[in-house]
Amino acid sequence: MKNFRFLVSVLASLLSLSALAQTNLDVNAFESKLPGATQILDVRTPSEYERGYLPNAQNIDWKQQASFAEQVAKLDKTKPVLVYCYSGGRSGQAAEYLAKEGFTEVYNLDGGYLKWTTANKTVVAPKERPAMVAAPTGKAVLDQTLKDNKVVLVDFYAVWCGPCKQQDPILQKLKKDWTGKVAVLKIDADRDPDVVKQFRVDAIPTLILFKDGKPVNRLVGFRDEAQLRKEVEGIL
């Protein structure tokens, strides 16, 4: 019994240390850690990184698990590690991994690059848009859609976002049901950062409902069909 209690105590201590080793920081607190930091990790994909990143950040893709483990093994576990992704999900997982691997100070940017850019913080932008990335068309399409329709539901999404993928078939169904009454427009947050910034979208999915060209409601996170019908059909 004593051995069992000792084992439980040790496990609890290890879990406690892991929790203490990683900390979620808001944009301002994260920014305050940047001066002098030598281990800033952007754990997004290379294509995301090429569109803009935090100063001095190195790109180590969390999705490439074997490569990620190999590269972070070269880092100094006794020095702070600052981690971020697009909206905080992947970097949260990466931060947890780093803490379990013995890194003593791990800071995760809550809300990720999306909240960072919405807050007008400094980023390193590419001199030229990567050749494989289509030029943003969201603003022009949005402006025309708002002009042509009385009620518009705009879905800010990302192709890698799990909840966004769940939301899509519901929106496609409602788009058909609302033909002639409500226009449904999807805007890729990765490809149209200017539109994201214009409407201060700092989490995805975010759905903004417009009437007569003006935003009247904002829904953050996944919404089921019943919720969307209630919000949208209530203003028709």
Q: Are 35 and 85 members of one domain?
A: yes
Whether the pTM exceeds 0.75: the reply is no
- What's the pLDDT at 15? 45
Chain segment 93-152, per-residue pLDDT in tens? 999 999 999 999 999 999 999 999 989 999 998 765 544 444 456 889 999 999 999 999
In a domain, 101, yes or no: yes
C-alpha separations of 76 from 24, 51, 65, 90 in Å: 20, 28, 19, 21
Helix (H, G, I), strand (E, B) or coil at 141: helix
In a domain, 132, yes or no: no
pLDDT of 3 above 60: no
164 as an active site residue: the answer is: yes
Residue-range definition of the domain harbouring residue 96: 2-118
Among 81, 114, 154, 161, the active-site one is 161
In a domain, 166, yes or no: yes
Q: Are 113 and 167 members of one domain?
A: no
85 as an active site residue: the answer is: no
Q: Are 175 and 105 members of one domain?
A: no
- What's the pLDDT at 83? 98
Q: How confident is the model at residue 160 (pLDDT cuts 50, 70, 90)?
A: confident
Chain segment 15-74, per-residue pLDDT in tens? 444 444 689 999 999 999 999 999 999 999 998 999 899 999 999 999 999 999 999 999
Q: Give me the torsion for CA of 97, 33, 31, 22, rounded to 10°.
A: 20
Among 164, 182, 189, 201, the active-site one is 164
Q: How confident is the model at residue 13 (pLDDT cuts 50, 70, 90)?
A: very low
Number of domains in the chain: 2
Helix, strand, coil abundance in the chain, percent, nearest 5: 45, 20, 40
Q: Are 21 and 111 members of one domain?
A: yes
Q: Are 114 and 158 members of one domain?
A: no
As a whole number of angstroms, the distance between CA 179 and CA 199 comes to 25
